[in-house]
Amino acid sequence: MEQAFLQFLATQKQTLSAEGVGIGDDAAVLAWPADSKLVVCTDLISDETDFHLADVTPQQIGRKALAINLSDIAAMACQPVGALLTLLLPQGEGSLQLAQGIYQGAAELGAQFACPIIGGDTNSWPGKVAVSVTVLGQSLAGKPLLRSGAQPGDAIFVTGQLGGSIWRHHLDFTPRVHEALQLTQACSLTAGMDISDGISIDLPRLCQQSDVGAEIDVRLLPLSADAQKMSEKTGKPAWWHGLNDGEDFELLFTVPQREADQLVAQWTNATPITRIGTIRHERELTMLGEDGTRQPLLPEGFSHH
């Protein structure tokens, strides 16, 4: 199977810079611009944990495996440069087709973000399918965006809409690479991350790294139609799903108070940005509930990590 898949790979064109070397040597080679930081992230998804093989296409698996990594690169406000795709495949018939589909799903998404598949590793084993992706990115303007820079008084924003991503969004979301790069141009981002486990879990992580607290207003959360759908199913309020559901893969970021209004006024990207709260000096995390009362923000989401 591996030989047949390598032959398939040889037919796939991946564009690399003139000095680059892609699949076919012991390692991929990339030229690196001076004064540009390298960022690198890796994430694995596996059958029965992150998807069910019977319910998805191979292309969706490959797309998602790359997309969650591109989301991490976006969270650093960096430009993706290339990806490594490692496959762990069940032995037997169908695994070549599975491998090709996963590759195609990843390669198609990569092409949309100038992120070719530059290497990887393919393995068969007596187990289920898992896909590990590593993405390299580079900082374009100044430093990569970290979780650690938020200051008391900063406005807290999110991109897009939140909640109910388990329905569909977790398989077809668009990593916010373009939005992140546009944000770095539009304002002085102080901290950022992507929302993978839900704001109620991820915002505390950002606050911990920044040594600050935060207060959000649940009435400001931009809710997806799927958050409403989940609400009808569970009986919990839609905002609860916006706050706690995982796999939104939107950006959570902070901006100095004085720039917040202007950022909103000037933002023209089709992906909305919404201010949901404020960074505070006190280390506690609070939220204003539906009725405006202040209460603790509890990590009720599902943690992947």
31 or 270, CB closer to a copy of itself? 31
Residue with tokens 């398939």: 8
197 or 245, CB closer to a copy of itself? 197
Residues marked as binding for Mg(2+)? Answer: 26, 42-43, 72, 121, 194, 197
Helices assigned H by DSSP within 84-237? 95-112, 169-172, 177-186, 199-210, 225-234
Residue with tokens 């720039």: 259
Residues marked as binding for substrate? Answer: 50, 247, 302
- Cα separation, 278 vs 207, in Å, equals 11
**Of the candidates 168, 303, 167, 299, which has an alpha carbon nearest to the alpha carbon of residue 243?**
299
Count the Cβ atoms, other than its own, within 10 Å of residue 107: 22
80 or 164, CB closer to a copy of itself? 80
Amino acid at 216: I
Q: How far is the CB of 185 from a copy of itself (least distance, A)?
A: 20
Q: How far is the CB of 54 from a copy of itself (least distance, A)?
A: 15
Q: How far is the CB of 271 from a copy of itself (least distance, A)?
A: 18
- Cα separation, 51 vs 60, in Å, equals 10
Q: How far is the CB of 255 from a copy of itself (least distance, A)?
A: 18
94 or 127, CB closer to a copy of itself? 127
6 or 111, CB closer to a copy of itself? 6
75 or 223, CB closer to a copy of itself? 75
Residues marked as binding? Answer: 26, 42-43, 50, 72, 103, 120-121, 147, 194, 196-197, 247, 302
Ordered DSSP codes for 204-268 = HHHHHHHT-EEEEEGGG--B-HHHHHHHHHHSS-HHHHHHH------EEEEE-HHHHHHHHHH--
Residues that bind a copy of itself (CB under 8 A): 2-3, 6, 19, 21, 24-32, 34-44, 46-49, 72-73, 75-76, 78, 82, 84, 86, 88, 118-128, 130, 132, 134, 136-137, 139, 144, 146-148, 193-194, 209, 303-305
Q: Which two tokens stand for residue 52?
A: 């069910």
Q: How far is the CB of 115 from a copy of itself (least distance, A)?
A: 13
Give Cβ neighbours of residue 205 (< 8 Å, ≥ 6 apart). Answer: 147, 193
Q: How far is the CB of 231 from a copy of itself (least distance, A)?
A: 28
Q: Which two tokens stand for residue 26?
A: 């012991």
Residues marked as binding for ATP? Answer: 103, 120-121, 147, 196
